Amino acid sequence: MAQLIQIKPRGLISEKLSLREGERLIRYTQSICPECNRLLEAIVLERENKVFMRKVCPEHGEIEELYFGSYKMYERFSAYWKDGKGTLAPNVPMERCMCPYNCGLCSNHLSHSGLANIIVTNRCDLTCWYCFFYVKKGLEGAYVYEPTIEQIVEMVRMLRSERPVPGNSVQITGGEPTLREDLIDIIKAIKNEGIDHIQLNTNGITIALKGPEYAIALRKAGVSNLYLSFDGVTPKTNPKNHWEVPYVLDACRKAGLGVVLVPTVIKSINDHELGLIIRFAQRNMDIVRAVNFQPVSLTGRLTKSEREKYRITIPDCIKRIEEQTEGEITEEDWFPVPSCTPLSDFIQFLTKKPKYELSIHFACGAGTYVFKDDETNKLVPITRFVDIKGLIEFLEEEVEEMKSGRPRLVSLGRFVLKLKSFIDESKEPKGLKFAEAIADVVIKHSYEAVGRLQLKSLFLGMMHFQDKYNQDEERLQRCDIHYLTPDLRIIPFCSFNVIPEFYRDRIQQKYGIPVEEWERKTGRKLEDGLYRGVLRRGKHHPNCGCDLANYKVTKEVLQPSCACSTIHSSKIGAATVSN
């Protein structure tokens, strides 16, 4: 496994950072003060099988924050820590960076862009209480930020100039991107610059209102999939688009446009529905390709008790999923994102060409694949029939041998011969042919093979973005989700949003216009774009998900616990679940 490399303390560590009874030091790092943004020495420590960060600001005192909800999982995930390729064409070239004050990317950044976000507007048709991003009328210094197509093209060209791996994956985001009337033209312009994968981050309301024709237009313009906000299966947990999501899925089915469901997970608000969200995705696996859970980032001034009320970490979410799926998906089924780098390294050495690698910090994200067993209707995690750890170790060994001079064809032959030994075909879902698909990916570099797997699987992911309370320079330096900006910088997500006064707000002020000026120019009021709940009148769509919440899981079937049919336009059959 990769060697763990860490930031070392620059000088004397404050006595206030010394360990206390029952604590164990894991590593040193650097962080910022959530009040004044001062760069601070910090320690990451273990206490009672949980991981915490502690830092002390000379002016604002001690800040301690839950970092990772399970030390056992932290230790297992840390085995996959890896430094990435970085960038050979930094926007901020410098011998010694002052992270996080000069992001853009700098010479010391350790990961290339895995996904580049382009904000096309900061207007939104919703006003979600936990969202920090949309422009709010009436606030001093409120600006509407909407870069021109020409500016967007220049941003994409900067992404494509990254080396050794030119960026080729973009997420169009906001605000709500579908409020841009020229969105189709924006998508086409991005696609014309050689971007292979375009993801549209949306609440889906415009698509629900406009229907399949709009979804088809998005797909034809170049959108690969929707990144669809979805916080729960009931109106209480998902008031933003509970009524609209089923219509979005209907439109995407007709358009052949895949969907990723994206729940923002907030402790005490919707963390009791993570299993039901997966059940909803399972029921719609013909069009839902993934669920990407995002534990909430806490913004603003919050007391410690307030943070404890809402703070949830990746291990906490994984534990709840195990409980709420009654053990169908366990914590051992999850691997950190950088665990996939041995496969990309193996392909890179075979082809002698730099390949995409997801070299983010192991605490940033995790994932697993699940497959549906058509006979039992159960979800079968990939770890049930593939020895993932053994396969990773084999690939790492082969990469080291190729580095030492072993001919590539010898390693390729060994891969073909050994691959099936890591797969228990007796436990493999019928018709999957996993070994054949993986061989096509490695040998033929076949996107079609990846597509075949996607159609038979559901990817479950976790991505925990940082905030000022748990900000960690070790994680920031390895970030591979970046923002493209009109000043032609490429800024890591957890700088852009964690310190908005340095990055997001300053950039949007510089390249945006005051709300009042925007209203004069367009002849519209900002609030005119707010959604008026057209689809929330009358009965719910039959696929809204309420029935999942109102059914109780037993060993035989999801049993009804209330008269759910009274609020639906038609009944839905209960999804069977076997244990």
> Coil, strand or helix: which one is 455?
helix
From 95-99, 160-164, 246-250, 487-491, the region with the lowest mean pLDDT: 95-99
Q: Can you tell me the mean pLDDT for 224-250?
A: 97
Distance of CA 455 to the CA centre of its chain: 20
User: Is the whole-model pTM more than 0.75?
Assistant: yes
Distances (CA, A) of 100 to 35, 206, 349, 463: 15, 37, 33, 20
Q: What percent of the chain has pLDDT over 70?
A: 91
CB atoms within 10 A of CB 539: 12
Task: Please tell me which residue, 139 or 211, carries the higher pLDDT value.
Answer: 211
Answer whether residue 565 shows pLDDT above 60.
no
pLDDT score at 567: 38
Reference 183, options 207, 211, 208, 154; nearest CA is: 207
Query: Looking at per-residue confidence, does 440 or 232 come out higher?
Result: 232
Are the C-beta atoms of 85 and 164 separated by less than 8 Å? yes
The residues pairing with 170 across neighbouring beta strands, listed in sequence order, are 116, 198
Output the pLDDT for position 549: 79
Q: Which residue has the higher pLDDT, 450 or 570?
A: 450
The average pLDDT across 152-177 equals: 96
Q: Give me the pLDDT at residue 162, please.
A: 95
- The pLDDT, as a whole number, for residue 575 is 28
Q: Is residue 477 part of a domain?
A: no
The average pLDDT across 138-161 equals 92
Residue 39, pLDDT score: 96
Q: pLDDT tens-digit profile of 115-127? A: 999 999 999 999 9
Which of 107-121, 123-137, 229-243 shows the lowest per-residue confidence on average (mean pLDDT)? 123-137
Percentage of residues in the chain having pLDDT higher than 90: 76
Which of these ranges, 8-12, 108-112, 160-164, 262-266, has the smallest mean pLDDT? 8-12
User: Is pLDDT above 70 for 574?
Assistant: no
Q: How many domains does the chain have?
A: 2
Number of Cβ within 10 Å of residue 377's Cβ equals 14
How many C-beta neighbours within 10 Å does residue 573 have?
8
Phi then psi for residue 483, to 5 deg, are -110, 135
Which residue, 417, 433, 460, sits at the end of a domain?
A: 460
On the question of pLDDT at 563 being above 80, the answer is no
Indicate the residue among 59, 78, 97 that finishes a domain: 78
pLDDT tens digits for 37-80?
999 999 999 999 999 999 999 999 999 999 999 999 999 999 99
Q: How much is the average pLDDT of 394-416?
A: 95
What does the pLDDT read at residue 228?
A: 98
Short-list 6, 431, 459, 52, CA closest to 259: 459
Q: Residue 54 and residue 62: Cα distance in Å, rounded?
A: 7
Whether residue 316 is contained in a domain is answered as no
Has residue 256 been placed in a domain?
A: no
- The reply to whether 356 falls in a domain is yes
Cα dihedral 188, 481, 321, 274 in deg (nearest 10):
-50
pLDDT computed for residue 579 by the predictor? 28
- The confidence score (pLDDT) of residue 97 equals 79
Q: Which pLDDT belongs to residue 555?
A: 37
Would you place residue 535 in the very low, low, confident or very high pLDDT band (cuts 50, 70, 90)? very high
Cis before residue 100, ω within 30 degrees of 0? Answer: yes
Residue 414's φ and ψ, nearest 5 degrees, are: -65, -40
Q: What local confidence, expressed as pLDDT, does residue 570 receive?
A: 32
Tens-digit pLDDT profile for residues 487-534: 999 999 999 999 999 999 999 999 999 999 999 999 999 999 999 999
**372 against 237, higher pLDDT:** 237
At residue 562, the pLDDT reads: 32
Reply yes or no on whether the pLDDT at 299 is more than 80: yes
The pLDDT score that the predictor gives to residue 512 is 97
At residue 131, the pLDDT reads 85
- The tens digit of pLDDT for each residue in 3-45 reads 344 555 555 456 678 899 999 999 999 999 999 999 999 999 9
Task: Answer whether 452's CB lies under 8 Å from 437's CB.
Answer: yes
- pLDDT value at position 450? 73
* 109 located within any domain: no
pLDDT of residue 519: 95
460, 482, 498 - which closes a domain: 460
Q: Which domain holds residue 338?
A: 332-460
Q: Is residue 68 part of a domain?
A: yes
| Within a domain: 574 | no
Between 82 and 172, residue with greater pLDDT: 172
Q: Is residue 496 part of a domain?
A: no
